[in-house]
Amino acid sequence: ILVPIRPYLIQITIDNEVANGDFDGLIFMIGLLVTLLVAQAFVQYGHTYLSSWLGQYIIRDIRTNLYEHIQKLKLKFFDKTPIGRLVTRNISDIETLADVFSQGIAMMIGDLLQLVVILIFMFYTDWKLTLVSLSTLPVLVFSTYIFKEKIKVSFNRVRTAVSNLNSFVQEHITGMSIVQIFNSEERELKKFKEINREHKKANVKSVMYYSVYFPVAEVIQAIGIGLVVWYGAVKMIDAQYQPGVLIAFIMYIQMFFRPIRMIADRFNTLQMGIVSSNRLIDLLENDEHISNEGSLNPMQLEGRVKFTDVWFAYNDEDYVLKNINFDVDSGQTIALVGATGAGKSSIINLLSRFYDINQGTIEVDGHNIHEFELNALRRNIGVVLQDVFLFSDSIEKNITLGNTDISSEQIMEAAELVGAREFIERLPGGLDYNVMERGSTLSVGQRQLISFVRAMVYDPKIIVLDEATSSVDTETEELIQLAIDRMMKGRTSIVIAHRLSTIQHADKILVLEQGEIKESGSHDELLAKEGYYAQLHSMQYKELKNKIA
């Protein structure tokens, strides 16, 4: 708002003090101009700082809400959404919104106020000269509109290209071992080059629009100044204008056209923000989250589990579980056996409500699992998966996952139980040892042992073991099997295993085939039936006999 005052003061200085040779008045006006510049600097500093501060606080809350929302989404959502795309939403798209608040909306408001004040000063000084100087404005407005429409499409392409690039890089860096094992570096590099080329093309096109628009705007401004100089010079010859008026209008035109050009640029920032905000809104409006309407919050469960007429499909069409019925009493062990894709892992995912069933009921301690608070249900179910995921952090943080209620003594007690204490104490720093990303500095067996400790520190009443010994050597398997026996004592256990030797003492074994329970019973009962389980046992026994031979 202070900017348009400067040309007005310069006009008065030239037409009064300079024209009349008033040296003292000149010194006063120079002091006034310096004071104005200092005040303008402070105002600009405050405006820039406050707009940036506002933007950062807003995106802080948006990013927190978005991450919280992502955490509550069903695993089904992550099955079909590339991780790189979610990273783009949570980082790049939100940073774009920060630019909208710090450089877009706040700055546009300031530019618009500046334009209004400039117009007031221009019309106050001379309305005819104002109309002459604004005669090129329609051309600038038209070119700005064309630029806005073109750059909007361009920015959509840029954001899509960034999302694709992030997805590709994230997936292939994570799976770099597979790329190298199969000598696929050159093929993957070609794919990356193609995606990177599309990213470059999208950015170059947006740069091209900028390269055309701003020179055109400069030419239009120059034409406007030329018209003012021509018209003003004619009037000066006729002694109708003083020199200060002409100089002031040249400054006004430069000040007037600059905000218009900047508004176009800010508008493009706003366009990018609209694109990013639409993506964020689509994600925030995604209602694929696990409902948490239950009220039961027991500190500890008894551990009775019952599946009744359970049907489940990942895509609501192809059922992977069909009419599943079984029950497990507190302290019992049930084993799930079957070929890959038979539905074993789906059963344990449903018990922890990582997915919701399509039909039927699942009960724990006689209550439908939907009646439990989600945190209470999962707190009482310890899950050990075949593919152990460790974060780039200390062993202690990977076990507690940031839960400060779990002490180091509890961790070491659980480690002692599963046989992991010895190897943890041998590591540099013990519990403070950094396992690096995905636990790359540990062996497969060590990672599996840590996952056992992670499950046991919560003292769950229900233990779920998803092929927990399938990826370890024989020596480690014996150690883990001993730990499993200790873990199962006094707990309800659901075990998935390919090695039938690990489940022979289970109270009940369910044999699944294509999502249905084909056989059930104890180890001896199933052998006596001479069905699928007996054939599988015979095959594994023959393989073991051949290895020994």
For residue 100, the enclosing domain spans 5-284
| pLDDT per residue as tens digits for the range 364-412 | 988 999 888 888 888 888 888 777 778 878 888 888 887 888 888 888 8
Is the model's pLDDT at 46 over the cut of 60? Answer: yes
C-alpha to C-alpha distances, 512 to 341, 392, 526, nearest whole angstrom = 9, 37, 13
The pLDDT-based confidence of 352 (bands split at 50, 70, 90) is confident
Cα(3)–Cα(9) distance, rounded to whole angstroms? 11
pLDDT at 291: 75
Contact 3, 40 (CB under 8 A): yes
Cα(399)–Cα(231) distance, rounded to whole angstroms? 80
Cα(306)–Cα(324) distance, rounded to whole angstroms? 10
pLDDT at 264: 65
Percent above pLDDT 70 for the chain: 92
Q: Give first-to-last CA distance, the chain, whole Å.
A: 93
Beta strands in 228-366 (DSSP E): 305-313, 319-328, 333-338, 359-364
Cα(386)–Cα(342) distance, rounded to whole angstroms? 16
292 is a domain residue: no
Question: Does one domain contain both 183 and 112?
Answer: yes
Residues 36-45: what's their mean pLDDT?
84
Contact 289, 72 (CB under 8 A): yes
Give ∠ CA 130-136-138 in degrees, rounded to 5: 110
pLDDT at 549: 47
pLDDT at 106: 66
Give the mean pLDDT of the chain: 80
Is the model's pLDDT at 123 over the cut of 60? Answer: yes
Question: Where is pLDDT greater, at 528 or 487?
Answer: 528
291 is a domain residue: no
135 is a domain residue: yes
300 is a domain residue: no
Look at residues 495, 492, 508 and name the one whose alpha carbon lies nearest to residue 331: 492
Residues 339-346: what's their mean pLDDT?
83
295 is a domain residue: no
How many domains is the chain partitioned into structurally? 2
450 is a domain residue: yes
pLDDT at 360: 92
Residue 335, Cβ density class (10 Å: 0-12 exposed, 13-18 middle, ≥19 buried): buried
Max avg pLDDT among 441-445, 455-459, 500-504: 455-459
Residues 442-454: what's their mean pLDDT?
81
Question: Does one domain contain both 25 and 124?
Answer: yes
Question: Does one domain contain both 239 and 319?
Answer: no
Cα(262)–Cα(265) distance, rounded to whole angstroms? 5
pLDDT at 452: 82
Last residue of a domain, one of 230, 253, 284: 284
Question: Does one domain contain both 319 and 175?
Answer: no
Cα(443)–Cα(451) distance, rounded to whole angstroms? 13
